[in-house]
Amino acid sequence: MVSNMGRRPCCPKEINKGAWSREEDDTLSKYVSIHGEGKWQKVAQNAGLKRCGKSCRQRWLNYLKPGIKRGDISSDEEDMIIRLHRLLGNRWSLIAKRLPGRTDNEIKNYWNTNLSKKLKKQPISSSSSWPSCSVSIQHNHHKYGNEKTKQIVHVAPQAPRPRRLIKVVEYNKILENNNSIGSECDQGSTEETSIADFFIDIDHHHQEELMVGDDGESNSKIQKMEDHKVIVSTNSHSSSSPSHHCHLLSEKFDPNLETLLDVELKKMASFLGLEN
C-alpha cells in the first residue's frame, strides 16, 4: 500500500491535552457565544485554542454550555437513570436527553462508579416489576402556536443491542400513506398512533429513533408488522413546559396504558425476535 498509510491524525500536532484551564474555557465560551456551536475544527483554529475540535466540542457540551448541571444527582434522577438504562442499555446520549442538564458523560460516569455497583449488590430479577417499555410525553410545537402532545413509548429489548441498526421511519411513512388512502382512520379528535411510532421519538426531529436490527430480516418483519396496530389516545397538556416529558417515568405510567402497551409490546418483541 501507499507510504502514508494509516489513520490521519484528527488534531494538529501541537495541541494541549489534559485538563482545560480557566483561560481556555473563557476563550471557548466567548467564541461559541458569538459564533454558535458547530464547525468545531474551525472553533479550535479561529479561537486560537491549541485543542482539537473534538475536545472543544466535548468541553462545551459537557461543561461550558449554559444549563449544564454538575453533581448532586438526586434520587429521582438516579431512579430515572436506572430505569432508562434498563430500557435503553448503554445508550448514554439517549438517557441524557431525558435528564435535563445532564450529559451523557456524567451519566455514564455516574453509572459506572455508583449504580453498577449498587445494582450488583441488589440485582434486579428478571421477574421484577420493571417495565419493558416506558412512556414519555412529547410536545410537538406546530406552526401558529398550537401544541400537540403525544405519548411516546420507548421500547428497549432486553436482548443484546443489535449489532447494526436501521430506522423504522420509512415504515412509519408507509403506514401513514396507507392510512391516508381510504383507511378507517378518521381525522377526528382521537389521534391514531401506529406501532411504528412506538419506536420513534420525534422529539428530536427523528434523531433518536429506536431501531431494530438490520439482520436482513427486518424488512420482511416490518412488512408483517402492518397487522399489528395499537391505538393510543393522546391528550393535550397546554400548561406543560417542553421539558415536561423529561420527568420521571414512574410518575407517567398509567397502569391501564402500561398493561395495554406491555401486552402489545411483548407481542411485537416476540415478533421482532427481541424477547428475553
Partner DNA sequence: AACGTATCCAACCGCATGGCG
Partner DNA sequence: CCGCCATGCGGTTGGATACGT
Q: What is the closest distance, in whole angstroms, from the C-beta atom of residue 245 to DNA in the complex? A: 17
Q: If you ran DSSP here, which 8-state letter would residue 196 be given? A: G
Residue placing its CB nearer to DNA in the complex, 118 or 224: 118
Which of 102/139 has CB closer to DNA? 102
Q: Among residues 164 and 224, whose Cβ is nearest to DNA?
A: 164
Which 3 state secondary structure label does DSSP give 216?
coil
Nearer to DNA (CB atom), residue 106 or residue 203:
106
Least distance in angstroms from the C-beta of 58 to DNA: 6
Q: Which of 259, 263, 274, 243 minimizes the C-alpha distance to 136?
A: 243
CB of 18 to DNA, least distance (A): 5
Nearer to DNA, 108 or 244 (CB): 108
Q: Phi first, then psi: give them for residue 141, nearest 5 degrees.
A: -90, 110
**Site for DNA, rule CB under 7 A:** 7-8, 10-11, 16-20, 38-41, 51, 53-55, 57-59, 62-63, 70-71, 90-94, 104-106, 108-110, 112-114, 117, 164-165, 167, 207-208
Least distance to DNA from the beta carbon of 130, Å? 20
Minimum CB separation of residue 192 from DNA in Å reads 27
Question: Beta-strand (E) ranges in 3-155?
Answer: 133-141, 147-155
Nearer to DNA, 57 or 150 (CB): 57
**What minimum distance in Å lies between the beta carbon of 184 and DNA?**
33
Comparing CB distances to DNA, the nearer of 30 and 164 is: 164
CA angle 12, 13, 14 (to 5 degrees): 95
CB of 16 to DNA, least distance (A): 7
Long-range contacts of 51-60, Cβ-Cβ distance < 8 Å, separation of 24 or more: 51/11, 51/15, 51/16, 51/20, 51/24, 52/10, 52/11, 52/12, 52/15, 53/10, 53/11, 54/10, 54/11, 55/11, 55/15, 56/28, 58/105, 59/20, 59/24, 59/25, 59/28, 60/28, 60/29, 60/32
Q: Are 140 and 240 in contact (CB under 8 A)?
A: no
CA distance 26 to 229: 52
